[in-house]
Amino acid sequence: MTVKSYRDLKVWQMAIDIVGEIYRLTENFPKQEGFGLTSHLQRAAVSIPSNIAEGHARGSDRELAHFLAIARGSLAEVETQLIIAGRLTYLDHCGTVEPLLVRLDTLGKMM
């Protein structure tokens, strides 16, 4: 199969799914976190598929590798912020955080 667009990449598709999940999870964060953890977590999550798309669109393996490295950095931010949200009891660690961390780990390996 020929990849014509970044939208054809499984890694991009999985990252997009994770963004939706992050937005759903952060809906229930305390209102005082609106400009703190909520906003930062959402922006870091959005950065993952955005950088995958940009790297692919640049058309060179070198630039793709550069933007995938940035996406991996954003992924690490999301993981860290989810762990923080779990410790602050904004999220259930075992029921919500851990399964998402496993998916993020898979995504990281795919990148």
Domain with residue 18: its CATH number is: 1.20.1440.60
User: Which ranges of 2-97 would DSSP assign to H, the alpha helix?
Assistant: 10-26, 37-58, 61-87
Q: Which residues of the chain have pLDDT under 50?
A: none
pTM: 0.93
Whether 6 is in a domain gets the answer no
Would 75 be classed as within a structural domain?
Answer: yes
Residue 3 included in any domain: no
Residue-number span of the structural domain to which 76 is assigned: 11-23+33-110
Q: What is the pLDDT of residue 1?
A: 61
Return the sign of the alpha-carbon dihedral for residues 90, 88, 72, 53.
positive
- Residue 91's alpha-carbon distances to 47, 54, 104, in angstroms, are 22, 31, 16
Task: Give the amino acid at 72.
Answer: R
